[in-house]
Amino acid sequence: MVVIFGTIGYEPKSIIPTLTGHANVEKLILFYTSKNEEVMKAVNEVHNYCKKMNLPYEDIRLEDPYDLIATALRMKKALQQHKDKDIIFNVTGSTKVISAAAIIVCIIDNIPAVYVNERTSKEEPLPLLNVKSKNIVTKKQLEILKIIMKNGGSIRPVELSKKLGIKPASISLQLRNMARRGLITIERDPDNMRSNIVRNAEHVPLLLYSEENE
């Protein structure tokens, strides 16, 4: 059975070809970002189409259409609830940020992504590379990111070395390498200018969410 995920803006036709183009569709999960009249009209049209098909549907309203990471995490949470199903994600509708979040999630979770060609109104596959967290970070780096996350998103290197059971000097090179790769930031500690604060990069929760739910 197939679960269709889709984003929608003002055009219901951006999602309908995906509903009709696949066999054994079990449910539609529909993401939208606003409650204005045009968006809700499009959502209701899709609802009516689903009712004619006797197809169950679920709406998920995204609170902040400009928050890429929060949107991607909300999508991943919904995907996790259907991880045992075949999933197809239509990324055509809604805002650029919402579509970008959907594409990022599809890349990380290896979800087939499609879009509806505006000129032909036909669904087309979107070729994406699959990126797993284990291919982006080493096992030790992943452990460090998890410790920082559990510590509220930031930690002093001395505290981190204690949790890892290694000397502070041994972790300095690892942290500099992670900072160069954009996984963390290293800032001066405002309470102690001789020390630093290590913070996870904004996108790290996406990697950790995938790792913890595989």
- 212 pLDDT above the threshold of 60: no
2-126, which class in CATH? alpha beta
Cα angle vertex 136, ends 95, 104, to 5°?
10
CA distance 116 to 130: 21
- 81 pLDDT above the threshold of 60: yes
- 25 pLDDT above the threshold of 80: yes
Query: pLDDT value at position 132?
Result: 57
Band (8; pLDDT cuts 50, 70, 90): very high
Q: What percent of the chain has a predicted confidence (pLDDT) above 70?
A: 93
Per DSSP, the three-state class of 104 is helix
Calculate mean pLDDT across residues 2-28. 92
Calculate the alpha carbon distances from 95 to 64, 92, 105, 124, 158 in Å.
11, 9, 16, 19, 43
Beta strands in 65-211 (DSSP E): 86-90, 113-116, 123-126, 154-155, 184-189, 192-200
Band (49; pLDDT cuts 50, 70, 90): very high
Calculate the alpha carbon distances from 124 to 15, 88, 133 in Å.
12, 12, 27
Residues 6 or more apart whose CB falls under 8 angstroms from that of 193 comprise none
Calculate mean pLDDT across residues 2-15. 93
Tokens of 188: 């001066």
Tokens 């690892």 belong to which residue? 174
CA distance 146 to 141: 9
Domain assignments of the chain as residue spans, ordered by start: 2-126, 133-212
DSSP state of 12: G
Band (213; pLDDT cuts 50, 70, 90): low
- Whole-structure pTM value: 0.75
Query: What is the number of other CB atoms lying within 10 angstroms of the CB of residue 197?
Result: 16
Query: pLDDT value at position 74?
Result: 94
Query: pLDDT value at position 211?
Result: 57
* 122-178 pLDDT tens trace: 999 888 655 555 556 788 888 999 999 999 999 999 999 999 998 877 888 889 888
Please state the φ and ψ torsions of residue 28, each to the nearest 5 degrees: -115, 130
User: What is the CATH architecture assignment of 133-212?
Assistant: Orthogonal Bundle (1.10)
Mean of pLDDT over the chain: 88
